[in-house]
Chain A
Amino acid sequence: MNNTNSMFARAMPLLFGVLFVIGLVAPFAVYPTFLMKILCFGLFACAFNLLLGFVGLLSFGHAAFLGSAGYICGMLVRDLGVTPEVGVIGGTLAAGALGWVFGVLAIRRTGIYFAMITLALSQMVYFIVLQWKATGGEDGLQGVPRGHLFGIIDLSNNIAMYYFVFAVFCIGFAIIYRAIHSPFGQILKAIRENEPRAVSLGYDVAKFKLLAFVLSASLAGLAGATKTLVFQLASLTDVHWHMSGEVVLMTLLGGLGTILGPLVGAATIVSLQTELADSVGSWVTVIMGVIFVVCVLLFRRGIVGELQALIQRAGIR
C-alpha cells in the first residue's frame, strides 16, 4: 500500500503538469463557457470533497454556499459597481461566514443528523433568497456584468474570462491540495478514521471540524461567485437542495476522498447534463437518480478510485 502510495506521489506532479497544460490550451479546442462551467462545478465538488472525503462529514447543504456567494458577488458587481475580483472575494467571504454559522450548529451532532441539519439550514437560506426583494425572488439576479478585472482586463471576452476562471480554479485547488497534505489534513483524516482516538490524543476535534467546514464553504463560495460572473446570473437553482444533491453525486461518481475525483465527476455530470438536456428533457433527474443508485450499490470507489485500484493491482503484479 505504502509503495503504491509513494508511486502515486511521484506521478502526481507529472499528472498535474499535464492537466495544467491541457487547461491552458483547452479553450481553443472546446467551447470556453462549457469548460468554465466544468471548472466552477469542479471546484465546488473539490471543496465538498474536502469535507466528505477527508473529514467524513456529509453536508447536504452546500448549495447554500455556492448560491449565496453567487448572489452576494452578483449584487456587489451589478448594484455597487465593484470590480469582478472584489465581487468574487466578497462572495467567498460571505460564504465563509455562512459556513461558520452552519458549522457551529451542525457539528453539535454527527452522522446522519449532521446531513439533516445542513439540509434544513440550506432550505432556510433558500426561503430567505426566495422572499428577499434584493435577490430578485423567482427571477434570480439577472444581468450581472462581467466587468473589467482589476479595472483593466475586459472579461466580456470569453477567452479572458476563461483564464480568469482557470486561475481561480487553480488557486482553489492548490489551497485544497495544501490543506490535505498538511498536518491539519492529517488530523482531519484521523478524525474521519477514528474520532474518539483523535479526541484522546488531545485534539480539539470540534475546532478542526469547524475549520474544515468554513474552508470548504468558502471554496464552494469561491466557485459560486465565479460561476455568477461566467453566466452573468445568480438563480434559485444554485441555492436549491437539488444542487446540494448534485455536488454529492459529482464527488461520489468521481471518487470520494481522491484528489482529482470530484473534478472528473463534475466534468462527467456537466457533460451528461449538457448532452441530455436536449434529447431527454425531464428524464435528466431520473438518470441522475439512477447514477446515484448505481454508484452507491456497485461503484463506491468512483471513477478515479477504481482507476487507482486498477493501477495498484497492476503494480502488485
Chain B
Amino acid sequence: MEIFGVPSALLGSQLLVGLINGSFYAILSLGLAIIFGLLNIINFAHGAQYMMGAFVAWIALTKFGVNYWVALFLSPIIIGALGVVIERTMLRKLYKLDHLYGLLLTFGLALIFEGLFRDQYGISGQSYPVPELLQGGVNLGFMFLPIYRGWVVVAALTVCFGTWFVIEKTKLGAYLRAGTENPQIVQALGINVPLLITFTYGFGVALAAFAGVLAAPVYQVNPLMGANLIIVVFAVVVIGGMGSIMGSILTGLGLGLIEGLTRVFYPEASAVVVFVIMVIVLLVRPAGLFGKAA
C-alpha cells in the first residue's frame, strides 16, 4: 500500500515518530507557558530539567532497582522539589527586575546541570529498557506499532489535557489564571500568591521531568538530550504564542507531525522545518497562532 508514492508503513512510522516528538513538544511548551504566565520568565533550564528527569529514572533503575512505574511518579516529584528550591532561593529575588535576568539565571543553571551530568556520565547515551508490560508491538495492518510508543503518546496527551482541565475548569486553576492577569489584586483578595508562584514553577518543572522519564526508553538517556530539544521547543512557543494552554498543546503536536512528514518527503530539511515555520508565522502573524498581540 502506498500513499503519494511512499510506502504506508514508512509514512506511518514516521508520523508516529512525529507524534511522539510532538507529544514531548506539547508537554515541554505547556510547562514553559504555565511558568511564563505567572512568573513572566522563560525557564531556560527546562531542557536540563527534562534531561535530569530521565537521569533520575535511569539512576533509580540501575542503582536502586526502582522500576519504571515508580520512577514515572518519583522523578517528577524529585525534580519538581528541586525546582521549588530554585524558585525559593534564586528566582524569587529577580521578580522586580527586568524579565531577561530570569532567562539568564536559568540559562546559567542549565549550564551547571548539563556540565555536572556530562562530567559524571560522559556524552555517550545510557539506554533505559522498555518496561516489561509495554514491550512488543501490535500490527495495525498498515504499520507496526510498538506498544511503548503508543503509550508515550497516550500518557503525554493525558497529562496535557489533565493540566488543561485543572487550569481551565477548577478553582485552583481559576486562582492561577487570576494570578496571571493581575497578581496584586489576587494577593489583596487573600490568596497566597508567592506560594502559588512556587507551586507553579515546581509543577512546570515536574512536567519537564515527567517528559524526561517518558523519553528515557525511546531515546538514549544523555546529558545533552534536553539542550537541543529546548531550542526547538522555544520555536514551538514562538509559533503558538504562550497565551493559551490548548494552543501550546495543539501547536506542539502539529509541529511534531509536520516534522515527521518532512522526514519522509525531504529528510535534509527535517532539522530546520520547525524554524522555517517559525519564520513564516512571524511574517504572517507576529503574535503567534494562539497569541494575543503583544
Residues of A within 8 A of B (CB): 56, 58, 105, 108-113, 115-117, 119-121, 123-124, 127-128, 131, 241, 245, 248, 252, 281-293, 295-297, 300
CB-defined contacts of B94 to chain A, threshold 8 Å: 296-297
B275 contacts A297, CB within 8 Å?
Answer: no
CB-defined contacts of B104 to chain A, threshold 8 Å: 248, 252, 292, 295-296
Given A128-B272, A131-B268, A289-B109, A283 and B115 contact (CB-CB distance below 8 Å): yes
A112 contacts B119, CB within 8 Å?
Answer: no
Give 17 A-B contacts (CB < 8 Å), ordered by A residue.
A58-B100, A109-B286, A111-B294, A113-B294, A117-B278, A117-B282, A120-B234, A120-B235, A131-B268, A286-B111, A286-B112, A292-B104, A293-B90, A296-B101, A297-B90, A297-B94, A300-B97
Pick the contact of B231: A108, A119, A281 (CB < 8 A): A119
CA distance A291 to B238 in the complex (A): 29
For the complex formed, measure the closest distance between the CB of A108 and the CB atoms of chain B, giving whole angstroms.
4
Q: Beyond A124-B275, A297-B90: 14 further Cβ-contacts under 8 Å?
A: A56-B98, A112-B99, A113-B238, A116-B42, A116-B237, A119-B231, A120-B275, A123-B228, A283-B119, A284-B115, A286-B115, A288-B108, A296-B104, A297-B93
Pick the contact of B111: A113, A117, A281, A292 (CB < 8 A): A292
- In B241-294, the 8 Å CB interface with A consists of 268, 271-272, 274-276, 278-279, 282-283, 286-287, 294
B103 within 8 A of A: yes
- In B34-88, the 8 Å CB interface with A consists of 36, 41-42
Interface string of B16-36 (1 = CB under 8 A from A): 000000000000000000001
- CB nearest to A108 among chain B residues: B286
A120 contacts B294, CB within 8 Å?
Answer: no
For the complex formed, measure the closest distance between the CB of B169 and the CB atoms of chain A, giving whole angstroms.
28
CA distance A291 to B271 in the complex (A): 32
CA distance A27 to B124 in the complex (A): 41
For the complex formed, measure the closest distance between the CB of A60 and the CB atoms of chain B, giving whole angstroms.
8
B103 contacts A115, CB within 8 Å?
Answer: yes
B238 contacts A120, CB within 8 Å?
Answer: yes
Given A127-B271, A127-B272, A293-B90, A119 and B112 contact (CB-CB distance below 8 Å): no
Residues of B within 8 A of A (CB): 36, 41-42, 90, 93-94, 97-101, 103-105, 107-116, 118-119, 228, 231-232, 234-235, 237-238, 268, 271-272, 274-276, 278-279, 282-283, 286-287, 294
Pick the contact of A120: B42, B109, B113, B278 (CB < 8 A): B278
- CB nearest to A284 among chain B residues: B115
CB-defined contacts of B282 to chain A, threshold 8 Å: 105, 108-109, 117
A285 contacts B278, CB within 8 Å?
Answer: no
CB-defined contacts of A248 to chain B, threshold 8 Å: 104, 107
CB-defined contacts of A120 to chain B, threshold 8 Å: 231-232, 234-235, 238, 274-275, 278
CB-defined contacts of A121 to chain B, threshold 8 Å: 275, 279
Main secondary structure of the interface of A (DSSP, over half): helix
CA distance A151 to B115 in the complex (A): 45
Most buried by A among B90, B93, B268, B271: B271
- CB nearest to A288 among chain B residues: B111
For the complex formed, measure the closest distance between the CB of B287 and the CB atoms of chain A, giving whole angstroms.
8
CA distance A187 to B54 in the complex (A): 48
A110 contacts B294, CB within 8 Å?
Answer: yes
B105 contacts A297, CB within 8 Å?
Answer: yes
Given A109-B282, A110-B294, A120-B278, A115 and B115 contact (CB-CB distance below 8 Å): no
CA distance A113 to B103 in the complex (A): 11
Pick the contact of B118: A116, A282, A293 (CB < 8 A): A282
B115 contacts A282, CB within 8 Å?
Answer: yes
For the complex formed, measure the closest distance between the CB of B37 and the CB atoms of chain A, giving whole angstroms.
12
For the complex formed, measure the closest distance between the CB of B294 and the CB atoms of chain A, giving whole angstroms.
6
CA distance A223 to B272 in the complex (A): 27
Given A109-B294, A117-B278, A120-B238, A285 and B115 contact (CB-CB distance below 8 Å): yes
CA distance A279 to B59 in the complex (A): 28
Given A105-B283, A124-B276, A300-B101, A285 and B111 contact (CB-CB distance below 8 Å): yes
CA distance A289 to B278 in the complex (A): 29
Given A111-B99, A124-B276, A286-B119, A116 and B238 contact (CB-CB distance below 8 Å): yes
CB-defined contacts of A109 to chain B, threshold 8 Å: 238, 282, 286-287, 294
8 A-B pairs closest in CB distance: A292-B108, A289-B111, A285-B115, A289-B112, A286-B115, A124-B275, A108-B286, A120-B235
A112 contacts B231, CB within 8 Å?
Answer: no
CA distance A111 to B102 in the complex (A): 12
A293 contacts B275, CB within 8 Å?
Answer: no
For the complex formed, measure the closest distance between the CB of A130 and the CB atoms of chain B, giving whole angstroms.
8
CA distance A289 to B99 in the complex (A): 19
For the complex formed, measure the closest distance between the CB of B1 and the CB atoms of chain A, giving whole angstroms.
32
